[in-house]
């Protein structure tokens, strides 16, 4: 994949632009997420924020009911379903393109039944052995399997920081993610519905995150659409500047390099940034 190419997965509505990097808005329905925990925990607040993200220009809303910040405890399945499903159902019924951020096959299945079109699994199926088979079996209201976002991941939040040991971080992240993608394919998930995510902030130090991000050829070697999720993360905050503005700079860089989407908390700055990045990428392509 060259720097001027952008790929999109199948299984999404035709009204989503095919030649633009999309902005995915984060909607955490949790009390303990690192950036916005507790702000949208109740249903009316969650729905209002989801609608606000759409009004601001997000093309996808990523709904999550379990924090994956370092050290966060896991919630049980019933609580995750209680948090997520009403939000997915209501926003999907209003026409929003919904992604569910979950590591549980059961939550993925219930979310797709409620209208979600995308399953965003930060563990790429490692946390739940049934996830790959379930993702291949499910059908969205469009009649296709859900898009499946597979992220590089080494372990749960309580141990992730202890696992940030690499000899060549960009190469090892790419190789480990390739193994997960192979397992998902073996479970029946087709390439045309797969998205790769290098997992910035997960089992990586600040320097390792920058090393991964700077070596785009390693991120792109899977030949799949790419999601970048850097928003407000610790390595961005360590720069000592406004996290949303710094995130927007990464969004511009990602769009210029052909990312399918960027996952962000603050939509307007990243929307402007990907517009610039897309324009540069298209000019380079010509």
Tell me whether residue 263 is one of the annotated catalytic residues. yes
**Between the CA of residue 202 and those of 68, 194, 260, 261, what are the distances in Å?**
9, 20, 20, 18
Tell me whether residue 59 is one of the annotated catalytic residues. no
- Out of 233, 281, 282, 286, the active site residue is 233
Q: How far apart are CA 225 and CA 138, in angstroms?
A: 21
Neighbours of 90 (CB within 10 A): 18
- Out of 263, 279, 282, 286, the active site residue is 263
Catalytic residues: 233, 263
């Amino acid at each position: 994949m060259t720097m001027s190419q952008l790929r999109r997965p199948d299984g999404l509505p035709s009204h989503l632009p095919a030649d633009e990097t999309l902005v995915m808005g984060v909607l955490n329905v949790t009390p303990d997420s690192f950036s916005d925990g507790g702000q949208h925990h109740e249903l009316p607040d969650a729905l209002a924020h989801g609608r606000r993200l759409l009004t601001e220009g997000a093309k996808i809303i990523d709904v999550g009911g379990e924090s994956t910040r370092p050290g966060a405890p896991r919630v049980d399945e019933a609580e995750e379903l209680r948090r997520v499903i009403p939000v997915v159902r209501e926003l999907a019924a209003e026409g929003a393109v919904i992604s569910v951020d979950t590591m549980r096959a059961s939550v993925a299945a219930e979310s797709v039944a409620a209208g979600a079109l995308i399953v965003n699994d930060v563990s790429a199926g490692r946390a739940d052995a049934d996830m790959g088979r379930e993702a291949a079996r499910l059908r969205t209201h469009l009649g296709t399997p859900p898009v499946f976002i597979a992220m590089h991941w080494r372990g749960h939040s309580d141990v992730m920081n202890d696992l940030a040991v690499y000899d060549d971080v960009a190469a090892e992240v790419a190789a480990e993610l390739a193994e997960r993608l192979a397992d998902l394919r073996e479970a029946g998930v087709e390439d045309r519905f797969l998205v790769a995510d290098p997992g910035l902030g997960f089992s990586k130090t600040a320097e390792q995150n920058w090393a991964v991000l700077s070596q785009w050829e390693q991120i792109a070697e899977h030949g799949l659409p790419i999601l970048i999720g850097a928003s407000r993360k610790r390595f961005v905050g360590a720069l000592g500047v406004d996290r949303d503005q710094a995130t927007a700079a990464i969004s511009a860089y990602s769009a210029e390099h052909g990312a399918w989407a960027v996952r962000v908390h603050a939509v307007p700055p990243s929307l402007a940034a990907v517009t610039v990045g897309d324009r540069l990428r298209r000019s380079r392509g010509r």
